[in-house]
A and B are shown apart, each in its own frame.
Chain A
Amino acid sequence: DIQMTQSPSTLSASVGDRVTITCRASQSIGTWLAWYQQKPGKAPKLLIYKASSLESGVPSRFSGSGSWTEFTLTISSLQPDDFATYYCQQYSNYPWTFGQGTKVDIK
């Protein structure tokens, strides 16, 4: 199975900060990577697919980059609505696997 490792596990930041979350795959997945945002008690929401494509309706302050084994999610200017947990997911090889999550909380 492909292991997805996110860092950091927790990130404390302030409104307006630039935030970067990293996701590493244990083997190459091309660009078959998605990023999701999850708030407490809610379903995950797709932000980014194919590593860098922004899902319709998602604010442009979110961006994704990377390929093969190294990927990043960047929030250019953190907004109050962005405090949440973020997950990466590979959908290159079965079983599809998620990272362990990165919680972004208020500094």
Chain B
Amino acid sequence: QVQLVQSGSELKKPGASVKVSCKASGYSFTSYVMNWVRQAPGQGLEWMGWINTNTGNPTYAQGFTGRFVFSFDTSVSTAYLQINSLKAEDSAVYYCARYGDMAFDIWGQGTMVTVSS
């Protein structure tokens, strides 16, 4: 079936980097753009941006430029979110979500990133 499976929870120290993976299955990976959405503890959903899995072109929302990097590897149908120079305020659950004609129709299960010294 169509699904996105994300990597497991991460505990990192401030200043470190983290790379979250999102493996797609059950559909043509390059036919849909991949979005990233952040949800801070007890808060709502925040769109971080997307990457066009056909052209490789990323689009970052304001507030997610510089330290955040979207990438993918078509050979393993996997999208990646890398966050550099982690700060405590980056602690959140990060979701990948497929965008088709029907908004964000498939979501990963989420990856919790905790930044703490």
CA distance A68 to B30 in the complex (A): 31
Main secondary structure of the interface of B (DSSP, over half): strand
CA distance A94 to B47 in the complex (A): 10
User: Taking CB as reference atom, which chain B residue is nearest A99?
Assistant: B44
CA distance A44 to B110 in the complex (A): 10
- Chain B residues closer than 8 Å to A101, beta-carbon distance: 44-45
Contact A43 B102 (CB under 8 A): no
Contact B47 A95 (CB under 8 A): yes
| Chain B, interface residues (CB within 8 Å), range | 20 to 34
Restricting to B61-82, which residues have a CB under 8 Å from any CB of A? Answer: 61-62
- Chain B residues closer than 8 Å to A98, beta-carbon distance: 44-47
Main secondary structure of the interface of A (DSSP, over half): loop
Restricting to A22-76, which residues have a CB under 8 Å from any CB of B? Answer: 34, 36, 38, 42-46, 49-50, 53, 55
Contact A49 B105 (CB under 8 A): yes
Q: CB within 8 A of B95: which of A43, A50, A53, A95? A: A43
Residue numbers of A with Cβ under 8 A of B are: 1, 34, 36, 38, 42-46, 49-50, 53, 55, 87, 89, 91, 94-101
Residue numbers of B with Cβ under 8 A of A are: 35, 37, 44-47, 49, 59, 61-62, 95, 97, 99, 101-105, 107-110
